[in-house]
Chain A
């Protein structure tokens, strides 16, 4: 039926809506945030909190000369764990690394395996575009064949200036390991590519 553009755009866009599962997921996210928000504090407590904040800020300023920037590998680990826990939908599903290479054709590097990842233990499930510290990266999802646990593997071009010095397998170094919110992350460089892989350490 022909009608004016405005009404057609309106009815087309308004025909789009979230399905129940998506809505439930988002509402749960909102409700979970509400639960962790602190309760309104009483006025005196507020004053005390402000004064404490001023003292802390003064202390931080006093020590600013001695303060070190957080290690980049920790920032990487935090970002990787944050995205790992979100488990966003995959953009491409395949068990083949070659399929991944075909899909990730907008990266500035070629996806590759690393000697630390043995394909016998892990099965590739798929991937999506992502970023680490603002650098476009491939986020791959792997599954442990034995335990069924899902792991996230990031690959990004290694930039020494941005990522600072990280262990390089070709120099015989071992990965840097961090634990964020109970999730382990190994970070290393292999053949010019930065790898960051989550793992669950139940031992």
Chain B
């Protein structure tokens, strides 16, 4: 795999999903690429997934310790509802609405949206990438759906007023 312009732009979008803004996304991508280039990757089959892991770990390390990461602390005690992403497919929202709530979402929520909408991951694939039990992920998706519906309801009301 070569880090060509298209690949760099794709990775930048993932960084944008994690960090929530373009300036931090570039910073994050730069650091991720630097780390990737220092690692021998000959034996790694999926280099794109590998560099995304590097970026994700770097984001968590750097930004969490600066208290800037809005990484949601998942309450494992909450009973999860086994739901798939299907109900998310039913949410209606304009691009403007997505833009208006983007930064209010946690990095974890934006990451789920990114993999679901942009990369087309299934919940199993995403659970594997995030190294998270599928049930935990489904619960997060369920809560995200409720949160988004509430937010879009708010923005809808504001539009109308």
Per-residue B-contact encoding for A1-40, CB less than 8 Å = 1, 0 else: 1111111111111111110001101110110010000000
Residues of B within 8 A of A12 (CB): 95, 98-99, 102
Q: Are B3 and A30 in contact (CB under 8 A)?
A: yes
Is the CB of B79 closer than 8 A to any CB of chain A? no
Q: Are B16 and A13 in contact (CB under 8 A)?
A: yes
Kindly identify which residue among B13, B23, B91 contacts A4, using a CB–CB cutoff of 8 Å. Answer: B91
Is the CB of B93 closer than 8 A to any CB of chain A? yes
Interface of A is mostly: helix
Q: Given A6-B116, A26-B3, A88-B27, do A13 and B17 touch, yes or no (CB 8 Å)?
A: yes
Q: Given A13-B114, A13-B117, do A18 and B12 touch, yes or no (CB 8 Å)?
A: yes
Complex: A25 Cα to B8 Cα, angstroms: 11
Closest to B63 in A: A129
Minimum CB–CB distance from B117 to chain A (whole Å) comes to: 4
Residues of A within 8 A of B2 (CB): 30
Residues of A within 8 A of B148 (CB): 5
Q: Are B118 and A1 in contact (CB under 8 A)?
A: no
Q: Are B93 and A5 in contact (CB under 8 A)?
A: yes
The interface size of chain B toward A, counting residues with CB under 8 Å, comes to 43
Minimum CB–CB distance from B125 to chain A (whole Å) comes to: 16
Kindly identify which residue among A2, A11, A22 contacts B92, using a CB–CB cutoff of 8 Å. Answer: A2
Residues of A within 8 A of B23 (CB): 89
Mark out the residues of chain B between 98 and 138 whose CB falls within 8 Å of any chain A CB in the assembled complex: 98-99, 102, 113-114, 116-118
Is the CB of B30 closer than 8 A to any CB of chain A? yes
Is the CB of B5 closer than 8 A to any CB of chain A? yes
Minimum CB–CB distance from B148 to chain A (whole Å) comes to: 7
Minimum CB–CB distance from A22 to chain B (whole Å) comes to: 6
Kindly identify which residue among A9, A33, A134 contacts B37, using a CB–CB cutoff of 8 Å. Answer: A33
14 CB-based A-B contacts, threshold 8 Å: A4-B91, A4-B92, A11-B95, A13-B13, A16-B12, A16-B22, A23-B5, A23-B8, A25-B30, A27-B3, A89-B23, A129-B66, A131-B65, A136-B65
Given contact pairs A6-B89, A16-B13, enumerate 6 new A-B contacts (beta carbons under 8 Å).
Answer: A3-B93, A4-B93, A8-B95, A9-B98, A12-B99, A13-B117
